[in-house]
């Protein structure tokens, strides 16, 4: 069956990141939106600069539950020998510190995204130190 339709900020973030996946990681390119697994759709399936698979889960708020969801998706994706090295990225407008800690312990990258910046509505805030 079809996946659940995203609404609101999640939908807009997904559209913006599908159009510019390199905002998550240099040289990342979109393979497909709403890539189905046995337990639901991964928001974006991408390929990296080495042609490796990258599953991207997009949330307004990155929580422990979002990390758990992406972990489940990765389990199903990696069962396919052709995708056993698939990496995960959790992209969110805000990330809970506990979610980042859990994600890092599982080898999942976390990226903070700003919808207004993605849309070109304003410039990113410049920081002296990252």
- Tokens (6 digits) for 42: 């991964």
Q: Are 25 and 53 in contact (CB under 8 A)?
A: no
Which helix (H) or strand (E) segment holds residue 105: the answer is helix 97-105
pLDDT of residue 93: 94
Does residue 124 have a pLDDT over 70?
Answer: no
Classify residue 119 as exposed, middle or buried by CB count within 10 Å of its CB (0-12, 13-18, 19+).
middle
Whole-model pTM?
A: 0.87
According to DSSP, the residues that pair with 46 across neighbouring strands are 30, 54
The reported pLDDT for the residue numbered 129 is 52
Interior angle at CA 63, CA 10 and CA 71, nearest 5: 90
Give the pLDDT confidence score for residue 3 in this predicted structure. Answer: 40
């Amino acid at each position: 069956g079809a996946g659940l339709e995203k609404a609101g900020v999640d939908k807009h973030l997904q559209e913006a990141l599908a159009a510019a996946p390199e905002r998550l990681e240099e040289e990342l390119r979109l393979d497909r939106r709403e890539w189905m697994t046995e337990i639901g759709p991964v928001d974006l399936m991408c390929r990296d600069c080495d042609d490796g698979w990258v599953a991207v889960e997009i949330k307004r708020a990155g929580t422990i539950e979002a990390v758990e969801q992406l972990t489940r998706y990765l389990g199903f994706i990696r069962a396919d020998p052709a995708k056993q090295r698939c990496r995960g990225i959790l992209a969110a407008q805000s990330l809970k510190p506990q979610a980042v800690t859990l994600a890092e312990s599982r080898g999942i990258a976390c990226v903070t995204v700003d919808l207004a910046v993605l849309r070109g509505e304003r410039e990113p805030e410049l920081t002296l130190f990252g």
